Amino acid sequence: MTDPIADMLTRIRNAQMVKKNEVILPYSKLKINILEILAKEGWLEAVEKNEDLAGKPVRKNAALGRFATIKIKLNYSKNDQRPKISKLERISKPGRRVYVDKDNIPYILNGNGMAVISTSKGLLTDKEARRQKIGGEVLCAIY
């Protein structure tokens, strides 16, 4: 797999199309950080990482075939069961990286959406990056 972030976004998009309540993904630090930002902003209901009894992430075990995973609970509206996420879009791709400086951070859907930006201070939302006056790589947009 050349782009694990695009794979994660596609799995979420596909699960929402068939009205699944949860999605299970392979674990990575970058994915869990992006998903925790989305959960904190209210786009996802919950994010859990699968851990063993010692509190460490489950490692690959050739004999058992176990890998660390992330479990996501999707967020739907109460009335008509429509997903809160209308569109998940990968902006910066492995073949074409998209970097912005502090003055050119995009407004997603006139501020109703959100971008996740990888900065020198870690992963931030577009609003946090504007507030801290810091640019970086625009990973994805959500609205």
Residue 81 domain flag:
no
Last residue of some domain: 27, 49, 74? 74
The token pair that represents 96 in the structure block? 């074409």
Whether 84 and 76 have beta carbons less than 8 Å apart is answered as: yes
pLDDT in tens, 92-139: 999 999 999 999 999 999 999 999 999 999 999 999 999 999 999 999
Q: Is residue 80 part of a domain?
A: no
Looking at residue 66, its pLDDT comes to: 65
User: Are 57 and 102 found together in one domain?
Assistant: no
Same domain, 15 and 67: yes
Residues 5-15 have pLDDT tens digits of: 999 999 999 99
Give residue for tokens 């075939």.
65
55 burial (CB, 10 Å; 0-12 / 13-18 / 19+) is exposed
Determine, yes or no, domain membership for 79.
no
| Residues 47-96 pLDDT 10s | 999 865 445 555 555 444 567 899 999 999 888 888 999 999 999 999 99
User: Which residues partner with 47 through β-bridges?
Assistant: 72
pTM: 0.87
Residue range(s) defining the domain that contains residue 48: 4-74
